[in-house]
Structure 1
Amino acid sequence: MWDSFKKLLGLGPKVPRISPKEAQEKLRQGAVLIDVRTPLERKLSKIPGSQGLPLAELAKRWESLPKDKPIICQCESGSRSQQAAEFLAEKGFEAYNLAGGISAWQAAGLPVKKGDIKR
């Protein structure tokens, strides 16, 4: 209950929101990009080099992430990834949220791998 109260007051960890260009630079320097969308969303499109770790599984699998590298969280628009980045920051990670998610990444002209799902 205290954690919920802290979040309401904005007392939780402050996680930086970074632009796609800033994220790209951090990735060049060794950061890890975690895609917290669902597996189906990742089949439709994904950022090359990203690792899939759905938000629903993060609480069970966060310990598999490297503690010695910055973690950039990404979703479709930046909402779910904000939750993921805050969770990881609480666990001691250097975490960032990709502002605008994969949509902003693509709008910035950065590479996105499209899936082959037939509609």
Structure 2
Amino acid sequence: MLNWLKTRLKPTPAVDVPTLTPQEAQARMRTGALLLDVRTVAERQVAFIPQSRSLPLSELPGQADRLPKDRVLITQCASGHRSRSAARWLAQRGYQVYNLGGGFHAWQAAGLPTKQR
């Protein structure tokens, strides 16, 4: 399955996406950006960023058409690596997208709100 994901999410070398700090991401969310949590369901069950939307990376190719193209998207995972792949893949399909640098860990370290289950 991992090879399938790598094949589906493999970015072209020319596509890159900007990285946001947690504070920049929070400011963008206040103006309407959608924070897309691409971590696994199990990771999200431990803790998550309020107002984020869960869409695990493994489900992204089959669910991307349900994402709004008229809103800024910010992808987020635990550390920023998986979400960068997701952001590049979405950018290739016409979405305006940013990546949360450092992911959930950076958000937590910045002292921004999280919810635990």
- TM-score scaled by structure 1? 0.88
Tell me what 1:73 maps to: 75
Tell me what 1:110 maps to: 112
- The reply on whether 1:90 has 2:92 as its aligned counterpart is yes
Percent identical residues: 49
Tell me what 1:15 maps to: 17
Q: Residue 18 of structure 1 aligns to which amino acid in structure 2?
A: L
Tell me what 2:52 maps to: 50
State the Cα distance separating 1:110 from its structure 2 match: 0.2
Match of 1:27 among 17, 24, 29: 29
CA distance in 1, matches of 2:32, 2:50: 14
Aligned residues: 110
Query: Where do 5+ consecutive residues of structure 1 fail to align?
Result: none
Runs of 4+ in 1 over 3 A off after TM superposition: none
Tell me what 1:64 maps to: 66
State the Cα distance separating 1:14 from its structure 2 match: 1.6
Q: C-alpha offsets along residues 7-65 of structure 1, whole Å, 9 cap, x if unaligned?
A: 4xx32x12001100000010011000000000010000000000000000000000100
CA distance in 2, matches of 1:94, 1:103: 23
CA distance in 1, matches of 2:16, 2:63: 22
CA distance in 1, matches of 2:50, 2:77: 14
| Aligned-partner SS, 2:45 | helix
Q: C-alpha offsets along residues 53-103 of structure 1, whole Å, 9 cap, x if unaligned?
A: 000000000010000000000000000000000011001000000000010
- TM-score scaled by structure 2? 0.89
Q: Residue 29 of structure 1 aligns to which amino acid in structure 2?
A: T
Query: Where do 5+ consecutive residues of structure 2 fail to align?
Result: 1-6
CA distance in 2, matches of 1:15, 1:97: 7
Match of 2:41 among 16, 24, 39: 39
